[in-house]
Amino acid sequence: MPPLLARPPDGGWGWVVAGSAFVVNGLSYGLLRSLGLALPAFAEYFDRSTQDTAWVSAIALAVQQAASPVGSALSTHWGARPVVMVGGIITSLGFILSAFASSLLHLYLGLGLLAGCGWALVFAPTLGTVSRYFSRRRVLAVGLALTGNGVASLLLAPVVQLLLDAFGWRGALLLLGATTLHLTPCGALLRPLALSGDPTTPPHSPLNALGLTLFTHPAFAMFALGTTLVGAGYFIPYVHLAPHALDLGLGGYGAALVVAGAAVGDAGTRLVSGWLADRGWIPLPRLLAVTGALTGLGLVAVGLVKEQEEGWAGTLLAAAGAYGMSAGAFAPLVFGVLPGLVGLGSILQATGLVMMLMSLGGLLGPPLSGFLRDVTGDFKASFLVCGSFILSGSFIYLTLPGALPRCHSAPPPSIPPPEQGELLPSPESTLASPSNPHSIPNTTC
């Protein structure tokens, strides 16, 4: 057993864990975003509609996120290290078996179900472990980990297109299966960490193991509702940004350029957002609502772009870059606000639940986007509708404690409480003080 620590180390081996999470994020969401380039090849080979092929990515996203509480529960019992290592093997098998698919159903089962289950065992335990290693610089560390999404998209988008051109979709899936096997050594780097306040024994009740009792707390319940709505639109560009670029007259490499542009904006703002949040100048829930609203507006802008000249993606590239910047700023805040809402002892379960909530919307969004494209002939309505989902969720975030300014701040307690979240028993002042920028001040009128 590791030695018991009073507080997170806020560095040290935590930066190795953050680096591991960087790679994990790149080989999960970054790869999923670039996989949209293969959807037209699936549609052509199996002679199916855009809506049908969209289910490949939609099922992978939904399974990964819906099963994330299971990954968190297993990590709570067995530790994150073995769970993530097994998840890497399962993900690799999903890609390799999908390379031999003879029908779209086989892709649903391989890329959707099997690879999605592997990702479910990988992402939430890794990100939850990052949060446990940091306190004062937590959002920056989470932002660094989540930057792997944008960097991987930037690198993998042209690589995936090159693999599709050189080896076809079957060869590409085989090589991507070998690549995703690197998730296993990433899991080996997740050294266990014991903190004071951790449960002495693993939870025995299934409800407690999955963290479902957190839904009984009002603040987390509102956060859950907003996150579900955001999830309905947040992942549309992962699946349909590249096909949207193709519909607007760009070639395969032009579409890859647009995806890469969104990835650059995404990666560039995640660290900036984490650094800004750790300063404590603006309450995290307020930053969350603002960046969420900007993400929704970015999707609307992508949908309003008109047909491009052959080989030139200027307008769409700018809109995709604006979306990527706002989405990148939003991502670390979703997970950075969790310790203040539920405490470090429940961070693994809460991270898994957030992934599950995003899946509820993620399962609806891509097929709805494909359906609207089949009905209208383009993706304009798809991006407009899904952008409105994100805007709605961002308005709900305004109900979180500290999201809106109050008349005056309540006096702090004489002894600052341990960082355990405003949902757990604690003194009245909870969640951003100068000593704890992640807390949300309790203010009254």
214 and 342 in contact (C-beta within 8 Å)?
yes
95-104, 143-152, 261-270, 366-375: which is most confident? 95-104
SS3 433: strand
* pLDDT recorded at residue 379: 83
Second CATH level (architecture) for the domain 211-405: Up-down Bundle (1.20)
pLDDT in tens, 371-420: 888 888 888 888 898 899 999 999 999 888 877 776 555 444 433 343 44
Is residue 440 scored above 70 in pLDDT? no
Report d(CA 185, CA 122) in Å as an integer.
12
* pLDDT recorded at residue 278: 84
89 and 181 in contact (C-beta within 8 Å)?
yes
On the question of a common fold for 8-191 and 211-405, the answer reads: yes
Lowest model confidence (mean pLDDT) among 43-47, 226-230, 347-351, 428-432: 428-432
pLDDT in tens, 137-167: 888 888 888 888 777 877 887 888 899 999 9
Tokens of 333: 């805040």
- Outline where 79-212 has alpha helix (H): 80-98, 104-107, 115-133, 138-180, 183-188, 206-210
pLDDT in tens, 124-134: 899 889 988 88
User: What is the domain partition of the chain in residue ranges?
Assistant: 8-191, 211-405
- CATH class name, domain 8-191: mainly alpha
243 or 295: which carries more pLDDT confidence?
295
Q: List Cβ neighbours of 406 (8 Å cut-off, separation of 6 or more).
A: 443, 444, 445
Distances in Å between the Cα of 97 and the Cα atoms of 36, 85, 87, 94, 319 are: 19, 19, 15, 5, 36
13-25 vs 115-133: helix crossing angle, rounded to 10:
150
Question: In the 8-state DSSP scheme, what is residue 425?
Answer: S
pLDDT in tens, 205-217: 777 777 788 888 8
